[in-house]
Chains A and B, each alone.
Chain A
Amino acid sequence: MAVRPGDRLVLHPDVALRPERFGALAYHFGNRRLSFLKHPDLVAVVESLDGERTVAEAFDVVGVEEARRSSFLSALETLRSSEMVRAA
């Protein structure tokens, strides 16, 4: 199921982010999966997901323009399927 702009997500408590030039490494200590967040804006979005905010509100906070939102939604979708983020 695709991530929708109205969804409320949070970073999984077992996930750590390591800042990198390109964005960040995300590591899930529970399922031992490693993901690459390939853009600093995606990192900013993930970091601003606090469970209160909707995904669309997080996009607003970070300043993700309309044209880029669908690709960000699919990036979040991948992160949710590997349990890096989950429903709040």
Chain B
Amino acid sequence: MPPEVVHQPPPATRPLVDEFRLGLDAPICLTWELTYACNLSCSHCLSSSGRRDPRELTTEECFAVVDELQRLQVFYVNLGGGEPMLRPDFFPIVEYAIDHQVGVKFSTNGTYLDRDAARRLASMDYLDVQVSLDGATAPVNDAVRGRGAHRAALQAMEHLADAGFGAFKVSVVVTRENVDELDELRALAESHGAQLRVTRLRPSGRGADTWDRLRPTQAQQRQLYDWLLGRDDVLTGDSFFHLSAFGQALPGLNLCGAGRVVCLIDPVGDVYACPFVIHDEFLAGNVRDPGGFTRVWRDSELFESLREPDSEGACTSCGSYDACQGGCMASKFFVGLDLSDPDPECVLGNAEDLLGRVDAGVGAHGDPVPRPTADHSRPGVPVPSPVALRPTRRRSA
């Protein structure tokens, strides 16, 4: 959601970006992955999902997290996973959150979003749905998300449209293969009464192994930037702020919010700085710890260090720093760059030499390239895997 910055009555206390860099007492919003279980095995999956983790938070524990978020006035959560609809208590958790002033947006691959589920979702207030689709056409989508995934997503979109859900979102991770399909994707979303949302591919989870061949080329980054300018109807989750270094800033919050205004709660309650850094180095604590999520957010050493001023690096002297802020922390981390290095997809090409030095698991500065800490991939399942559309098991409250 592009947050709207209200015209400032003078004098400004401090630029908002600076306020956000210092961190807030509670996140503005957060991502909450309900399960690592997933019927798909997308080749870019940031959470390496597949198998359920037996230590998953129970329904009661999920309710307690919601209670805390309500006290903190976290106005909405992005539920994901894994496939969140695979949790038998998915609807009760969503309903509990909404009843406690925590709005819900959830992301789904669409497989379990049948006619009944669509009707149930359409009857709820303060709920938003995001159907993931990574290509307008089946070959492009299914190359990443697995055979049958395109059909499943389109069926879900039809069910939502038929149920009169209203403006749901179609969420696309922009890749080398689908960047030319953006107009088509937008039309496809609109024909279902939905809004297109495009986000940036990160080298996270299984994406660590596919990022280099899926990420847009430099020329495509420019093409994407030009396409986004003036298309205010297309949402971006503010994820393309590194493209702002091309010139005009894209709308929204142009900074990395990790541990400052956003974070991730994973299925077992671990709190990470952002959804794209599921790695021990970015693990701040667990909601099951004494003091719960609130204490992790406010007192963890990791989050405190992320709220300190950026250390000097190539970026702080770059003329585009104000626009781009040095880019995405997760992207740097998982490709073997230092956090003070330029973003690996720096549009000025300032990371190219460094990337050239990364070789055979050794990062640009001689340290091993970090590997995602946990892998929930189902053993023996090829990535992407063919998907069999099972009839949706009815999961009622």
A42 to B105, CA, bound (A): 29
A37 to B24, CA, bound (A): 14
Q: Count residues of chain A with CB under 8 A from any CB of chain B.
A: 31
A68 to B10, CA, bound (A): 7
* Given A20-B24, A33-B4, A35-B3, A27 and B76 contact (CB-CB distance below 8 Å): yes
A42 to B73, CA, bound (A): 20
B6 within 8 A of A: yes
Closest Cβ neighbor of A39 among chain B residues: B9
Closest Cβ of chain B to A20, distance in Å, is 6
Which of A16, A22, A33 is B16 in contact with, Cβ under 8 Å?
A22
Which of A22, A29, A74 is B14 in contact with, Cβ under 8 Å?
A22
- Let me know if A39 and B12 touch, CB within 8 A: yes
Which of A18, A25, A29 is B126 in contact with, Cβ under 8 Å?
A29
- Let me know if B9 and A41 touch, CB within 8 A: yes
- Let me know if A78 and B7 touch, CB within 8 A: yes
A22 to B8, CA, bound (A): 11
Closest Cβ neighbor of A74 among chain B residues: B7
B128 within 8 A of A: yes
* Given A39-B9, A68-B9, A78-B4, A22 and B19 contact (CB-CB distance below 8 Å): yes
* Given A18-B73, A21-B19, A22-B13, A75 and B7 contact (CB-CB distance below 8 Å): yes
Closest Cβ neighbor of A64 among chain B residues: B9
- Let me know if A34 and B75 touch, CB within 8 A: yes
Closest Cβ of chain B to A19, distance in Å, is 9
Closest Cβ of chain A to B175, distance in Å, is 27
A80 to B4, CA, bound (A): 12
Q: Count residues of chain B with CB under 8 A from any CB of chain A.
A: 28
Closest Cβ of chain B to A57, distance in Å, is 17
A16 to B76, CA, bound (A): 12
Closest Cβ of chain A to B356, distance in Å, is 40
Closest Cβ of chain A to B276, distance in Å, is 21
Would you call the interface of chain B mostly helix, strand, loop, or mixed?
loop
Find residues 29-88 in chain A having any chain B CB closer than 8 Å to their own CB: 29-30, 32-42, 64, 68, 71-72, 74-75, 77-79, 82
Could you say which residues of chain A place their CB within 8 Å of the CB of B16? 22, 36, 38
- Let me know if A72 and B9 touch, CB within 8 A: yes
Closest Cβ of chain B to A15, distance in Å, is 10
Closest Cβ of chain B to A27, distance in Å, is 4
- Let me know if B12 and A25 touch, CB within 8 A: no
Could you say which residues of chain B place their CB within 8 Å of the CB of A23? 13
Could you say which residues of chain A place their CB within 8 Å of the CB of B9? 38-39, 41-42, 64, 68, 71-72, 75
A74 to B5, CA, bound (A): 12
Closest Cβ neighbor of B72 among chain A residues: A18
Closest Cβ neighbor of B10 among chain A residues: A71
Closest Cβ of chain B to A45, distance in Å, is 9
B103 within 8 A of A: yes
**What are 17 sample pairs from A and B whose C-beta atoms fall under 8 A apart?**
A16-B73, A20-B25, A23-B13, A32-B128, A35-B4, A35-B5, A36-B4, A36-B5, A38-B9, A38-B13, A39-B9, A39-B13, A40-B13, A41-B9, A68-B9, A75-B8, A78-B6
